[in-house]
Structure 1
Amino acid sequence: MGRRNSCFPGKFVPLFYIFTALIFQQEIVICQEDKSFSNPAANRLYNQFIFDKLSNLTEVFEDDIKRELGFCITNVKEDYNEAFNFSTKPEFLNACGKTTKGDMMQRICTAAEVKIYFNGLLGGAKRATNYLKPNKNCNLSSWMSGCEPGWACRTAKEVKVDLKDDKNVPVRTQQCAPCCAGFFCPRGITCMIPCPLGAYCPEAKLNRTTGLCDPYHYQLPSGQPNHTCGGADIWADIGSSSEVFCSAGSFCPSTIDKLPCSKGHYCRTGSTEEINCFKLATCNPRSTNQNITAYGIMLFAGLGFLLIILYNCSDQVLATRERRQAKSREKAVQSVRETQSREKWKSAKDIAKKHATDLQQSFSRTFSRRKSMKQPDLMRGLSQAKPGSDAALPPMAGGSSDTKKGKKKEKNKLTEMLHDIEQNPGDTEGFNLEIGDKNIKKHAPKGKALHTQSQMFRYAYGQIEKEKAMQEQNKNLTFSGVISMANDIDIRKRPMIEVAFKDLSITLKGKNKHLMRCVTGKLSPGRVSAVMGPSGAGKTTFLTALTGKAPGCTMTGMILVNGKVESIQSYKRIIGFVPQDDIVHGNLTVEENLWFSARCRLPADLPKPEKVLVVERVIESLGLQHVRDSLVGTVEKRGISGGQRKRVNVGLEMVMEPSLLILDEPTSGLDSSSSQLLLRALRREALEGVNICMVVHQPSYTLFRMFDDLILLAKGGLICYQGSVKKVEEYFSSLGIVVPERVNPPDYYIDILEGILKPSTSSGVTYKQLPVRWMLHNGYQVPMDMLKSIEGMSSSASAENSAHGGSAHGSVVGEDGTSFAGEFWQDVKANVEIKKDNLQSNFSSSGDLSEREVPGVYQQYRYFLGRLGKQRLREARTLAVDYLILLLAGICLGTLAKVSDETFGAMGYTYTVIAVSLLCKITALRSFSLDKLHYWRESRAGMSSLAYFLAKDTVDHFNTIVKPLVYLSMFYFFNNPRSTVADNYIVLICLVYCVTGIAYALAILFEPGPAQLWSVLLPVVLTLIATSTNDNKIVDSISELCYTRWALEAFVVSNAQRYKGVWLITRCGSLMENGYNIKHFPRCLIFLTLTGILSRCAAFFCMVTFQKK
């Protein structure tokens, strides 16, 4: 990019002379006496004749010019007119004709001489030397005054000059004289070439102080006292012939006139006319540019004002909507309570009247029947409202019309199964129960015809109050009782999932190490099961296995879903998994988090009133009413409390109405009251048929008694107990392990399994023997290595195991004494297997057997879009900081990197590409880096990855549009290049779109720290490669693939298109030196856009492929 000694490097083709030679290819002989030049009519005919000849010459070499110089010339005729159309100011031709006494055309160079000039110019020799090749007129033996710079000679009168001849140089040695004004005469040839428009080529004058011919830089030859200064001596790029260019602050309407720029106008270098300044710009006389900083400030202020209005309006709309919803909820609650009070009072009056009538009957008979009538009367008092009204309660089973008519309902398979579960909770045999329409009644919800917010909330709170009343009346009602009642009344029920596991063993691949062995049991619908055990017992591994995922492990045994060997992943739409970490969106409110999960995961055909009921029920049961409109909060910004955040984490799964709910330590970090509140909500879910399994860590006794079943694991993933909580103490007492008084049973058992406490010696059992004792107690097969590895195990136990079919040849997995190299290799193999299994899991599909139709990709895309819009509005301060940094970058680069006419502002654009790429990449990283855990959770729940990615990208298009404006508002108006704002804006939009896609891929592939380093490194390295001047084919090939090159080329080309006339050689030289093409502007934009699209495709592929399960 530095200053060049000549306008082109030597590798450029010598055919460039064609470009200039095209104006000298017609033989023109005009004889005109001196007195004729004073005749205006004759001058017009003379000039018109020349113009006609010159304008027709473009067609002769148009194909050659397009072929050889197509990279810097878009339109041959247009560029010719911009450089050599002297029709408006032809005075210098008349003056030259008068000076040369009519032999001007005999002094103009032929094609051969022009070829000599440009070949020498392309050679790169220094200006002070004779850089033209020796020729017929100027050589070592013949060097006349016409060979000196600024001088020319004519041919003999009898010599016929063919200007199209590019092979023979005519003898041009007569009447040598200074070069005409408006022409330049190079050193080493004896002819003249017209200066292009935008040049100033007056006759030179000797500066006796410097000895130079001003305004040019050549000296008078020594030993020739009669030699004087001539005309211009060179036209090349601005770096080699800046004195020929019309100086900044002046304009040159012709090549011999230079006028100062007047006030209110500005004139750049090479101007042929002065340009009007904008109204708010300040342009003093001789201004070289206009100061349009005020317009940049106005643009930024207008943009900022528009963004503030948009933010405030959007925030106001959301706030108004929330207030309206809050008012609707309050009115609904008040309406339901008032209606209930009225109905209760009316029912009480009716009951009192009826009792007064009954008192007239026999006292003994009345007393004997009061007990049987009390319950139905009370329920009628609570539910006598009209069907569908706010206070209407579902009739109890005893009050159904079928019962009154004496119709007896047959017990269905579901009811029989549930009765059996309650009577035999320890039975590990599974049940064969279909999921779908055959066993689940689907009734049209009552809320289907409701439309307004108030109606929906009244309906929801009315239903919630009914359910509370039912629970109050039936505190000890079992799940089978709920199902039996639901068979008689109009209640929507969930499909049931029972999970049974037999001889479940998990072995780590590569290391061949057991994580879990011989686990047998079942999880039943309508029951809350607790998984407990010491650290390292495999509790989380057990939950992972239940969900059908064990990456990097070999899983043996069977997992039965409703009595069938099916992948549990086929039911993921009705399975909820609550992770141990509270993965909740901190910049959303509690209600917004729950509603998003409900919209995406509840059945698509479920009416909105029913969804409102589900969400309100969960908020009510989890005790989140008073914080429903509060932001959840993040580490940086405080929100709700930790216990409330934990309940929101659970609520995200409860609102999708799961049939199987798995929770990983949901009570960790909660106090006793919060834990009980959470468990009561889960028990309410269990009453609706949900199969709940949760890992807990040493619960309190009160909390422990709230569980239905217990799965107790020992170290090594061995099961010690699986069954009812009510029978656990009885079982361990049979082994001689009695819990002391005032000691919490789960704490005591876990301390024994940890080895902290030892069972009493009278029991004859050690903590290592407890898993084997359980297996023998239930008649399970025990591997022989487990028996042999436990000292003190009686031979009778071994015989008993053999009777049950236990293996006589066990193998110990994992031997001690492995070398460091062996352990390292095992770790490598295990990691490879985990990666392999994750990839297979991400691309495997087990189908869907849940028969739940969730919203499609487009609908989920709309939900994601709404959520992201709210999040972006709440991150407005962070976005404002991003814009401010971009604004400061524009000011600094616009001020420091001034436009260089020699390189068309390439240096400033280079800094622009680096700065914009770096800043936009770093900000785009936040789109995916901060939400990885949320995406993994939502993806595992079955939400659409495509909808998530497209919504993120769509929201980021706002930055793609606004950020270029923010940057240009300072950079362009401080730097003021010749290219238009529109061209720069289009290039920046494509650049930001491109780097945003690359940032997506980096954010998904790497952790936040390395992703930021790559975002900084890539723009710098790729820009260095794109601007490298080394003649290295490998580097050049890589450069063609760099987005920075396409952005730089687009910027430079958009600027170079504005340089015409005298700038033509500079334009072609600069473009050729950098390998740019003036016609590639659309192509560069397409490449940038295509890179953005491909990088987004790669990012989406990586997001789906490398997500953690």
Structure 2
Amino acid sequence: MGGKRKGTGYAGNVFESPSPILGQPWQVPALADLPPIPPGVGFGCYYQPNASVGVPLVPSYRPCDPGYFCPYVVDQVMLLCPPSPECFMNRLAGGSPCLPQGRFEPALCPAGFYCPTPSTIHPCPEGHYCVTGTTQPTPCQFMSSCPTGTITETHFGTLLIVLLADVLLCIVFYCQSVYERRRDGASWIDAATPTFLQGRGRRRRPKTTPADKYSGTRPTQVRAATATIAAGADAARATTSTFEEVSVLVQAFRDGFNGDERLRMHFAFDNLTLALPTGKVVLGGVTGGIRAGHMTAIMGGSGAGKTTFMNVLMGKVQRTGGALRINDEVDEIHNYRNLIGFVPQDDTMLRVLTVREAVLHSARMRLPSSWPASKVAAHVDNLLRALNLSSVAHTRIGDEVTRGISGGQRKRVNIALELVAAPLALFLDEPTSGLDATASLDVVDILQAVSKLGVTVVSIIHQPRIEIFERFDDVLLLAPGGRTAYFGPIARAKDYFTSLGFRFDSEANPADVLMDIVSGRGQRADPDREVPVDLASQWVSSGSTVHVDLSTTTTTESGGGPTNKAMRSVAARRGATWLQQAFHCHNRSLLKQSRELTSLQLELFCAFLAGFLMGNAVTGNVESFYGLTLEPYALISLQPDGWLIAMYGMLAGMSVALSAAPSGVNVFGEDLPVYWRETASGQSPSAYYVGTSISVLWRIVLSAAHFTAIYYVLARPTFAVGLQYLMILLNVYCVYGISACISMITSRGNMALVSVVTTSVMAFNCGFLITLNRARDAGFEWAFDLGPNRWMAEAQFGLTLNTYEGVYNLASEASKYGYDLDAFANDMLMMVALGIAYRVVAYVFMVTAHRDKQK
């Protein structure tokens, strides 16, 4: 924080002839060469040389202290002389320092010079800098500009290092882009052409693999494999090489269940009920069973309770009545979360990843940790082929802004994320929503193939076409109020409602007719015959309630039945270890960040701009600080300007908050739906949180470096660049932690604004406008202590002022704000502790907020 003086402001005297010039030797006349002072007319003061106006600063002779220039105080008492009008205004208002106003008046060794003794003065040598009161010049840091007469150094080294790091990052990201384009089948010329030189919206042609040559619009492999798998694993293994990947998929299911491919999950439930605290019943006593190896559809009108039934069955919502049996044992599904797959209606996934990257991450997290990486990769590749996704395996999923795979392919990826874990049961919430008829049929064909593997498939469907409806084995029709209108085989549904007097047109879609019936718009077969109005009561009175016989469906060839205890044992072996999960989440987050270069570039630009603006605001000052000189020299002091250092501390903290907070909320806020989905499948929340938190540390390091590099060049602090960087780094680290807390409890649209406002207010409360003394007296100093900038401002204040130790009265200046000048180490430790504490709080918010979405 320094610069060159704009003017000297000296009154005419022997010290001004010749005037001191920065970088040049300064010689004043020797005491013996000065004319004698006329006896009785003065004390060597220059403004009124013929009057006895000097005031002794000390009662008797004493030499000047180190850091002062007093060439004529040899055996005389130091005097205070009346200043010239210009010098008087400088001392009163805080302008440039004055040279001595009399022959025996002391003065601080001026900036740009150093005074090894009070009677000698030398220009600051090249490669060093000299602030006011310097006795020995201070060496400049590496790659700094310090010509002769430098007051404060101009350090370019850190800026050059940061620019070099930016160049290296650009090279790394460019090489990654070329590799991905080559992997997608682009030529070397196309792959090497930067994106901004290519046509907007141009899509790269994916590489075609041999397995895709027989892949049509429909997943023909899956449909052809359905019949094969239905014959059993042995038949699948005996198929031709065309279906080799499906055979490997069957083997993967066997390995996932400790070699026992006959493990199944059947559900039987009686009177499942859910009543709200208000007393309203939203699920009215559903009874029935769901069989493994079957596809069960859940249908009903809007608000009939389809999603509620699925949530109650899966344990996402605690039921208020009824019982659930799994494999003929009273049990709960949440005991087998690692063996359950749930496909949400929305395609919740990281859209910047490729298809294979997304599915591979799910496999690494959920398959047994004992599987080698090669086996996991082979399982993923074969699953993608079975789902007809291998042709887009290396294509980014994309979203509404970035082009990627089609909607039907994205839905299949959504299913693959669950199917790759080799589940025993698969629940789906409207998997065909938003798809055209052909894509919907593709998805259902996949589900049918999965069910033939022995997986229990339960899906909510809405107005399916007839081909889709007939793929399912059973259907649960829910009437308004969550009551059962029919639950049984699809083949018998038409006969049941026909027996009640409803008409089915031969050309009509049976699914549409059933939806009309449960919605109260069914047509009578005989206009003169009454049809039941309360279909739920009619279903109960008909005695047609489904009861699934589980005693035969769970037997094995050896005659013994696999128990739920065995399934729990299998579930316990599923999933990567905690360290493996943290490692995979860390790597996925790094990959995601590498795909979002615009966000990184904007963050670093904002940090650089904030540092530039902050440094530019400081660069006009001659020196960073003028204070009250120590006794007995206080009467020749300038107006202290410690308030500038305190204000710069506040502004620096606010600049950090403005540049870092928007990026901090994106670490978790953008991906919370993905976290909810993965946690519901049994993955470790703490592993996800720790891995993701570690993955952004490099961004924090880079962001702080960009701020510090340009700020240090312009502001020119009088302490080491490493200390300045450490303060900014820990402040950015804390701002990221605060932003993480806010992102967990604030809506996605508001979290950036709330984070910026919150961190800016915390930076404001650093002890400048409202001092720590006032806050302490009012009893709310603790609120200031919770903000990182309170500690950074104190540390920066102390480092700046301690440069002038022995020259100015530093304690009086620090006491104005309540700062401790020697608390740098404590300040840094407090910022580290706050950064950790913020992240602990953010983790608590993450696991406690939206608990219903994590089940």
Correspondence for 1:58:
none
Provide Cα deviations, 1:914-960, integer angstroms capped at 9, x if missing partner: 11133222211101100010000000000111110111111111122
Cα distance in 2, alignment partners of residues 960 and 1000 from structure 1: 13
Match of 2:597 among 876, 895, 901: 876
Name structure 1 gaps, 5 residues minimum: 1-90, 101-143, 151-175, 218-227, 234-243, 338-381, 383-392, 400-457, 471-482, 782-845
Given that 1:460 and 1:612 are in contact with CA atoms closer than 8 Å, whether structure 2 keeps it comes out as: no
Output the CA distance in 1 between the equivalents of 2:437 and 2:70: 95
Partner SS, residue 632 of structure 1 = coil
Give 1:1099 deviation, angstroms.
1.3
Moved more, 610-619 or 495-504: 610-619
Give, in whole Å, the separation in 2 of the partners of 1:767 and 1:276: 97
Letter in 2 for 1:521: G
Q: Which of 397, 405, 409 does residue 632 from structure 1 map onto?
A: 397
Instruction: Give the Cα separation in 2 of the matches to 1:216 and 1:946.
Output: 60
Q: Distance in 2 between matches of 1:398 and 1:199?
A: 95
Q: Could you tell me whether the CA contact under 8 Å between 2:248 and 2:382 is conserved in 1?
A: no
AA in 2 matched with 1:894: G
Native 8 Å contact 1:206 1:212 kept in 2: no
2:697 and 2:423 map into 1 onto residues whose CA distance is 36
**1-side partners of 2:111 and 2:405: how far apart?**
65
Which residue identity is paired with 1:919? S
- Aligned partner of 1:701 in structure 2 is 466
Going from structure 1 to structure 2, the CA distance change for 1:396 and 1:949 (only over 3 Å counts) comes to closer
Q: Which letter does structure 2 place at the counterpart of 1:871? A: K
Alpha-carbon offset, residue 247 of structure 1 = 2.9
1:699-746 Cα shifts (integer Å, max 9, x gaps): 111111111111111111111111111111111111111201211111
Alpha-carbon distance change, 280 to 689 in structure 1, aligned in 2, over 3 angstroms: closer
SS at 1:501 equivalent: strand
How far apart, CA to CA, are the structure 1 residues paired with 2:625 and 2:302? Answer: 72
Who is 1:713 aligned against? Answer: 478
Q: Does the CA-based 8 Å contact 1:758-1:766 persist in structure 2?
A: no
Contact 1:868–1:952 under 8 Å retained in 2: yes
SS in 2 for 1:1087: helix
Are 1:561 and 2:561 an aligned pair?
no
Tell me, yes or no, if the aligned pair for 1:463 and 1:613 is still in contact at 8 Å. Answer: no
When residues 333 and 674 of structure 1 are mapped into structure 2, their CA distance, relative to the original with a 3 A threshold, is: closer
State the partner residue of 1:831: none
Q: What does residue range 164-179 of structure 1 map to in structure 2 within 5 Å?
A: none
For residues 212 and 590 of structure 1, what CA distance do their matches in structure 2 show?
75
In structure 2, do the counterparts of structure 1 residues 1010 and 755 end up closer, same or farther at CA, with 3 Å as the change threshold? same
Q: Structure 1 residues 1001 and 584 mapped into 2: Cα distance closer, same or farther (>3 Å)?
A: same
Matched, 1:1081 2:824: yes
Which is further off, 955-964 or 851-860?
851-860
Work out the CA distance in 1 between the residues paired with 2:418 and 2:533: 37
CA contact (8 A) 1:515 1:538 kept: yes
Distance 1:1045 1:148 in 2: 49
The aligned counterpart of 2:800 is 1055
Tell me which moved more, 848-857 or 969-978.
Answer: 848-857
1:741 aligns to what?
Answer: 506
* Cα contact 1:886–1:967 (8 A) shared by 2: yes
The alpha carbon displacement at 1:596 in A equals 1.0
Q: What SS is found at the alignment partner of 2:728?
A: helix
Name the CA shift for 1:610/1:267 in 2 (closer, same or farther; >3 Å). Answer: closer
Alignment partners' CA distance in 2, 1:741 and 1:336: 36
Match of 1:535 in 2: 302
Other-structure match for 1:866: 587
Work out which of the residue numbers 105, 125, 132 in structure 2 matches 1:232. 105
8 Å contact 1:883–1:966 — kept in the other structure?
A: yes
| Alpha-carbon shift at residue 1060 of structure 1 (Å) | 3.0
**Unmatched runs of 5 consecutive residues or more in structure 2:** 1-27, 73-78, 93-100, 187-206, 216-227, 547-566, 627-641
Q: Is the 8 A contact 1:300 1:969 kept in 2?
A: yes
Q: Counterpart in 2 of 1:1068?
A: 811
Contact 1:924 1:1000 in 2 (8 A): yes
The aligned residue for residue 646 of structure 2 is 906
Change over 3 Å in CA distance of 1:1058–1:253 after alignment to 2? same
Partner of 1:255: 118
Q: Which residue of 2 aligns with 1:185?
A: 56
Query: Kindly tell me: are residues 316 and 192 of structure 1, through their superposed partners in 2, closer, same or farther at Cα, counting changes over 3 Å?
Result: farther
* Secondary structure of residue in 1 paired with 2:69: coil
| Closer, same or farther: CA 548–263 of 1 in aligned 2, 3 Å | closer
**Residue 616 of structure 2 corresponds to residue 895 of structure 1:** yes
Matched AA of 1:519: V
Task: Identify if the C-alpha distance between structure 1 residues 1057 and 586 changes in structure 2 by more than 3 Å, giving closer, same or farther.
Answer: same
Q: Quickly say closer, same or farther: Cα 1:703–1:982, change in 2 above 3 A.
A: same
Alpha-carbon RMSD across the aligned residues, in angstroms, is 4.3
Instruction: Give distance in 2, aligned partners of 1:208 and 1:679.
Output: 95
> What secondary structure does 2:403 align onto?
coil
Q: 1:739 to 1:780 in 2, by over 3 A?
A: closer
Counterpart Cα distance in 2 of 1:643 and 1:288 = 68
Q: Is the 8 A contact 1:598 1:611 kept in 2?
A: yes
* Count of aligned positions: 723
- 1:196–1:1061 CA contact under 8 A, matched in 2: no
Q: Assess, with a 3 A threshold, how the Cα gap between structure 1 residues 1037 and 1094 changes in structure 2: closer, same or farther.
A: closer
CA distance in 2, matches of 1:92, 1:1076: 44
CA deviation after TM superposition for structure 1 residue 216, in Å: 8.4
Q: Residue 267 of structure 1 contacts residue 289 of structure 1 at CA under 8 Å; is this kept in 2? A: yes
Q: 1:674 offset after TM fit, Å?
A: 1.1
Task: State whether residues 501 and 559 of structure 1, in contact with CA within 8 Å, keep that contact through their aligned partners in structure 2.
Answer: yes
CA distance in 2, matches of 1:1081, 1:499: 64
SS of alignment partner, residue 931 of structure 1: helix
Letter of the 1:883 counterpart: L
Q: CA deviation at 1:662?
A: 0.6
Tell me if structure 2 keeps the 8 A contact 1:710–1:723.
yes
Counterpart code for 1:231? F
| DSSP 3-state at the match of 1:991 | helix
- In structure 2, the CA distance between the partners of 1:197 and 1:755, relative to structure 1 (3 Å rule), is same
Q: Alpha carbons of 1:998 and 1:192: their partners in 2 closer, same or farther (altered >3 Å)?
A: farther
**Is 1:973 aligned to residue 713 of structure 2?**
yes
Residues 503 and 849 of structure 1, relative CA distance in 2, 3 Å threshold? farther
Which residue does 1:645 correspond to in 2? 410
**2:271 aligned residue:** 503
Q: Partners in 2 of 1:1091 and 1:947 — Cα distance?
A: 21
Choose which of 674, 678, 688 in structure 2 pairs with 1:938: 678
Following superposition, the deviation at residue 765 of structure 1 comes to 4.3
Matched residue, 2:725: 985
Pick aligned residue for 1:198 from 54, 67, 77: 67
Work out the percentage of aligned pairs sharing the same amino acid.
28
Task: Judge conservation of contact 1:178–1:230 (CA < 8 Å) in 2.
Answer: no
For the 8 Å contact 2:351–2:396, the answer to whether it is kept is yes
C-alpha distance in 2 between matches for 1:1099 and 1:94: 71
Name 2:316's counterpart in structure 1. Answer: 549
* Bigger relative CO (Cα 8 Å, ≥ 6 apart): 2
C-alpha distance in 2, partners of 1:628/1:584?
15
> For 1:557 and 1:887, how far apart are their aligned partners in 2?
62
Counterpart residue identity of residue 311, structure 2: T
CA distance 1:582–1:494, change in 2 (3 Å) = farther
Cα gap change, 1:751 to 1:764, in 2 (>3 Å): same
1:957 aligned partner: 697
Aligned-pair CA distance for 1:541? 0.5
Distance 1:1036-1:177 versus aligned 2 partners, 3 A rule: farther
Determine if the alignment matches structure 1 residue 269 to structure 2 residue 132.
yes
Residue type of the partner of 2:542?
A: H
Letter in 2 for 1:535: S
Match of 2:162 among 300, 318, 325: 300
Is residue 2:12 matched to residue 1:245? no
**Which of 618, 622, 626 is the equivalent residue of 2:387?**
622
Q: 2:116 and 2:719 mapped to 1: Cα distance?
A: 22
Per-residue CA distance 1:752-803 (angstroms, 9 max, x = gap): 322344535647445632111111112669xxxxxxxxxxxxxxxxxxxxxx
Render the CA deviation track for 1:588-620: whole Å, top value 9, x for unaligned: 001111111111112223455553453234322
After superposition, where does 1:670-685 map in structure 2 within 5 Å? 670-685=435-450
Letter in 2 for 1:1084: D
Question: Whole-Å Cα distance in 2 between the matches of residues 212 and 855 of structure 1?
Answer: 75
